[in-house]
Each structure stands twice: as structure tokens, then as C-alpha cells.
């Protein structure tokens, strides 16, 4: 069986390998007939340039025309066949001969001169994936067309997801079981969560990520800041920020004069600018405490958000740096292969790829660890988590610094020298980042499972 025939059989069996194998060994001839494959005819299908041809579809008489036919010999002009194929290909099914009584199928790989395309296979693939969205996920990474096919549920820790449909339920699940989060790897080495189709967000759950992104995108924190630092004019409700010590306020919008402390009319306060006689100390203390809580809430959010955003920005910067390092190394290796091919090989610099992956993965974990930290309740074990996070941060920054030094060298030879001289440091830091990432994940996972860590859904 050639490659085209295997593709056609897989296509006919809805890409189910087990079904194909069963039908093939049970009744091979019937399967071939159902797929429209003719093994008894040696005639090759293809395009032909013919003269004096009459097409039975469009009823045109041509003095010279290009035609197409399968091994059955049913031949039609290329315009008619092209229109037919363009219509059928969108359905994602095997395309049969244009004669209704003929069951032969057009092979996936159709070559016309130097133009070779696989439109049918692409359409069939998209049709198959669209009907099985639970089993297939496109990689969410920018400019990546990688596809992940989940064959069956995997065992994760002490839990087991018996059906891939259960992955969809994880997105809104209150469960803090990090072991159940299905992190997958696309063909281009991008990790992402199969459940919520977001990048690898461990140690955060899908629900935590969903709430964090919403919190970052909406104006809730802006509203908190306004509420904590401004007051509404009691007359026109315009927001007013107090930038001085005087409690006698005049609204710039409606010119209403009022007391900043009790919001009452200033005319009722006499001439005492510094003491509000109509405002009880209990009420003053209560409002002051409310403002304090809101300010602390805002400061807490900004603390974690800034670090989340900084590591996201640093991750993008690291990717650009790593691209430059890779380019410099590629040019150096290409030049060296022409002059001294035995000095250095690509195997000798394979450690760089491991370092690249470790650095980007470390950044991503640090980024989401700050999201995790925002929702994490204070406690002794929370302090342990933050300490491990700090260790990971140091290793990531140390490795990032080495790569920054490499790209700042103008001479490619010097850049390569730094790489080789610091090979051991790069390898050790890569290994350390991987270990500390694992330790951080285990700390979060076991802490949540044992009740040592608790999340507060703010």
C-alpha cells in the first residue's frame, strides 16, 4: 500500500487507526472498494493535454485542453473537474469520480506540473477536528499552528479523569487539585493547559487564572483607587481628590462648599477649619478604617500585578535575547564548518536548547506564581512557598544575565567563547531552574492538598 492509499483508508475510517486495522484484516477487498481504491487497474490517474476533446459535463468542444481522469478513464476538462473538487473539498469527505455510478476516489496528493498541494487533506483534517473539539486543541501560542490530539484521559496523581469531557469542567472548578490540570506539549514545544487552552499556568488553577485575567482587564482596581483617594461631591456627585490639609472643600464643578470629613455643608461648621463639630469620632474612625482597608487592598494588588507584568515582559525580552543567541551561534557554526569542522559540532552546543527551555519555563512559572500569591492566604507555609519562589527567581535572573552578556558582544567569536567558557554555569543553572520549578509546584500542590495552603477568592 502506498502513502496515498493509506491516507484514503484512514480518511474513510474517520482517522481511527484501530478501526482501519480491524477492517483491513477482516476484509481488505471490501475496505479498498469502500474507499474507492482500484488495485486491479494499472492505469495512472492524472492530468493530460489533449486535442479535439469534447467534455460531457460542460458540453464544450475543445481543439486543445487540459483534462483530468482517474484510473477508471472517466475524463473531463480541467475547468469542470476543478469546480467539482472546489465544491466537494469543503465537505471534508473523500472526493469520488464525477460519474455518479463510479466509486473511485481522487488521491489526496494531486500533482500538477510543479504545483503540488494537499487541499483535500487539509479540509478533511479541519472537518474531522471541528467535529471532535474535545479531543483536539490548537496551540494558543502566537504564530503556532501546532495541534494536540488527546487520545485518552491520563492518570494524574491520586485522581483520574475518566473522560476528556471532564477537562472542560476544570475551567470553572473550585477544586484546588493541581495534579488534575492537564498540561500538554505541542509539536513546537509550547506548553499549554488542555482544559482552558491558556499557556501553562501552574501553580494556578484554571479558575484562578480566569479570575486574575478578569481582574487585570476590568476597572475594579481603578474604582478602588478612586474610592480610597477621592470623595463624591454631595451636591453633584463629581469625584474630588483632596491634595491639601484643609477640610473646607469647594467643588470645581458646581461650586458647592462642604466638609471633607462629614460631607456636610460648610456653612454649618462655623469658622473652625480643623475640627468637625458635627462628625462623631466613631464615624470618623469607621470611615478612616474603610479607606485604610481599600488602600491596603489596592497596594496588595499592585504589588503582585507589577511583578506578574514584569516577568511577562522579561519573558518576552528573554525570547528575543535567545533568538539573537541562536542566530549568532548558527552563523558561527556555519562559518566554522567550512574552516574547522572538527572543533565544535551541534551536539556540543545542544545544552543551549535545554537552557532556552529552562529559562522561558522558569519565567512563566514565576509570572503565574505571583498570581497564585495574590490569592494565597498568609501563613507559615505560604512563607515557605514565597521563599522557594525567591530561589527560583534568583536562578532565572542569573541565567538571563549570562545570555544578555552574550548578545552584547559584537564579535561572534567572543560570543561563542563566552558560551563555551560558561557552559558548565549555563548547564548548572538550567538544571537548578528545573529543580526549583518542580519544588515550587510540589510545594503548591501538596500544600493545597494537605490544607497547609489556602486560597482566598477575592
Q: Looking at the annotation, which residues are catalytic?
A: 246
Q: Are 170 and 202 in contact (CB under 8 A)?
A: no
SS3 255: coil
Query: What distance in Å separates the CA atoms of residue 76 and residue 200, rounded to the nearest whole number?
Result: 53
Reported as type and span, the H/E element at residue 8 is helix 3-12
Torsion angle, CA of 456/191/165/12, rounded to 10 degrees? 170
- Whether the upstream peptide bond of residue 363 has omega within 30° of 0, thus cis, is no
Q: How many helices (H) and strands (E) does the chain have?
A: 13, 15
> C-alpha cell of 63?
481543439
Burial of 74 by CB count in 10 Å (0-12 exposed, 13-18 middle, 19+ buried)?
middle
Q: Are 455 and 448 in contact (CB under 8 A)?
A: yes
- HSE at residue 82, side-chain half, CA atoms within 13 A, is 7
> C-alpha cell of 358?
529552562
DSSP conformation letters of 23-67: HHHH-HHHHHHHHT--SS--PPPEEEEEEEEE-TTT--EEEEEEE
Reported as type and span, the H/E element at residue 361 is helix 351-375
Query: What distance in Å separates the CA atoms of residue 12 and residue 31, rounded to the nearest whole number?
Result: 9
Amino acid at each position: 500500500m502506498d502513502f496515498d492509499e493509506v491516507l484514503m483508508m484512514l480518511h474513510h475510517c474517520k482517522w481511527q487507526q484501530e478501526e482501519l486495522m480491524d477492517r483491513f484484516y477482516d476484509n481488505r477487498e471490501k475496505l479498498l472498494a469502500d474507499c474507492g481504491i482500484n488495485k486491479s487497474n494499472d492505469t495512472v490517474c492524472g492530468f493530460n493535454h489533449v486535442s479535439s476533446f469534447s467534455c460531457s459535463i460542460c458540453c464544450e468542444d475543445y481543439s486543445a485542453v487540459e483534462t483530468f481522469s482517474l484510473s477508471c478513464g472517466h475524463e473531463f476538462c480541467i475547468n469542470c473537474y476543478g469546480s467539482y473538487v472546489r465544491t466537494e473539498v469543503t465537505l471534508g469527505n473523500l472526493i469520488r469520480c464525477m460519474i455518479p455510478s463510479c466509486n473511485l476516489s481522487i488521491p489526496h496528493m494531486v500533482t500538477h506540473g510543479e504545483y503540488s498541494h494537499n487541499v483535500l487533506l487539509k479540509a478533511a483534517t479541519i472537518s474531522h477536528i471541528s467535529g471532535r473539539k474535545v479531543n483536539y486543541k490548537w496551540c494558543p501560542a502566537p504564530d503556532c499552528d501546532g495541534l494536540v490530539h488527546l487520545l485518552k484521559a491520563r492518570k494524574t496523581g491520586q485522581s483520574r479523569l475518566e473522560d476528556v469531557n471532564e477537562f472542560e469542567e476544570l475551567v470553572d472548578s473550585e477544586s484546588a487539585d493541581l495534579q488534575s490540570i492537564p498540561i500538554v506539549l505541542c509539536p513546537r514545544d509550547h506548553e499549554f493547559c488542555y482544559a482552558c487552552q491558556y499557556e501553562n499556568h501552574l501553580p494556578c488553577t484554571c479558575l484562578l487564572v480566569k479570575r486574575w485575567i478578569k481582574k487585570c482587564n476590568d476597572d475594579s482596581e481603578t474604582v478602588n483607587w478612586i474610592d480610597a483617594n477621592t470623595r463624591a461631591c454631595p451636591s453633584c456627585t463629581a469625584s474630588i481628590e483632596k491634595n491639601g490639609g484643609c477640610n473646607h472643600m469647594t467643588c470645581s464643578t458646581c461650586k458647592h462648599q462642604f466638609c471633607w470629613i462629614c460631607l456636610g455643608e460648610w456653612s454649618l461648621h462655623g469658622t473652625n477649619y480643623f475640627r468637625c463639630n458635627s462628625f462623631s469620632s466613631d464615624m470618623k474612625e469607621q470611615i478612616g478604617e474603610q479607606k485604610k482597608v481599600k488602600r491596603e487592598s489596592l497596594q496588595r494588588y499592585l504589588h503582585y500585578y507589577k511583578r506578574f507584568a514584569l516577568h511577562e515582559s522579561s519573558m518576552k525580552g528573554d525570547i528575543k535575547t535567545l533568538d539573537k543567541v541562536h542566530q549568532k551561534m548558527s552563523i558561527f557554526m556555519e562559518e566554522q564548518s567550512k574552516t574547522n569542522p572538527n572543533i565544535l559540532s551541534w551536539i556540543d552546543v545542544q545544552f543551549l536548547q535545554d537552557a532556552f527551555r529552562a529559562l522561558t519555563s522558569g519565567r512563566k512559572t514565576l509570572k503565574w506564581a505571583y498570581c497564585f500569591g495574590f490569592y494565597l492566604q498568609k501563613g507559615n507555609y505560604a512563607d515557605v512557598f514565597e521563599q522557594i519562589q525567591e530561589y527560583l527567581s534568583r536562578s532565572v535572573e542569573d541565567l538571563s544575565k549570562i545570555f544578555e552578556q552574550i548578545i552584547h558582544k559584537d564579535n561572534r567569536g567572543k560570543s561563542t567563547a563566552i558560551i563555551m567558557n560558561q557552559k558548565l554555569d549555563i548547564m548548572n543553572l538550567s538544571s537548578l531552574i528545573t529543580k526549583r520549578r518542580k519544588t515550587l509546584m510540589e510545594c503548591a500542590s501538596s500544600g493545597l492538598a494537605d490544607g497547609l495552603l489556602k486560597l482566598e477568592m477575592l
